[in-house]
Amino acid sequence: MLKQALAQNGLIAILRGLQPQEAAAVGEVLYAAGFRVIEVPLNSPSPYESIRILRQTLPADCLIGAGTVLTPEQVAQVKEAGGQVIVMPHSDAKVLRAAKAAGLYLSPGVATPTEAFAALAEGADILKLFPAEQMGPAVVKAWLAVLPAGTVLAPVGGITPDNMQVFIDAGVKGFGLGSGLFKPGMTPEQVAVNAKAYVAAWKALR
């Protein structure tokens, strides 16, 4: 379902710093704009509560996940809160295996081909290319030439509506969007404006 969601709209919302009391309103404007994967990093305030609220608020075709997942214990807490996707900044095999054992979708962070192949061998559904600012589209193109056909690379870090084109041309099928989409203190209306700009750029480029 994760790959299907990204095929519909390849943009993943990363809501670092989200407060539980704003989760429902922010989630609703993102869903209305077309987002179908939303991630709450665990270094946000009360992240499990926000995940629970988003899961209860949004339709079933929107996947809710957790980012910055660092331990198997956190994987269990995410599942208990209703989260469906585990997103990591790294590629720790213990966390990967815990996520797969829990039946959750998995997007580990990778920065080398060795990490990418190892993560795929552990059952990663998509690969988070992090940090994208350091990697660039040339790296994407080189990796996709050797990774298994159908591998989804999602750059995260510094992605704007204006710089998606070069990555898409290199074969990217999705992006993780952080501070360009949502920052703590933004109103739902501000998030909606940003979300629509990203979705419009995605549709135009695809």
Residues 6+ apart with CB under 8 A from 76: 98, 102
Task: Please name which of 65, 90, 64, 86 lies closest in space to residue 75, comparing C-alpha atoms.
Answer: 86
Token readout for 160 is: 């704007």
Q: Which residues contact 137 (CB under 8 A, 6 or more apart)?
A: 166, 167, 169, 170, 172
Q: Cβ of 43: how many Cβ atoms within 10 Å?
A: 11
Q: Kindly list the catalytic residues.
A: 39, 128
Distance CA 126, CA 145 (A): 16
The DSSP letter of residue 152 is P
Closest Cα to residue 195, out of 185, 181, 206, 179? 181
Query: 44, 77 in Cβ contact below 8 A?
Result: no
Q: Is 79 helix (H, G, I), strand (E, B) or coil?
A: helix
What are 40's strand-pairing partners? 66
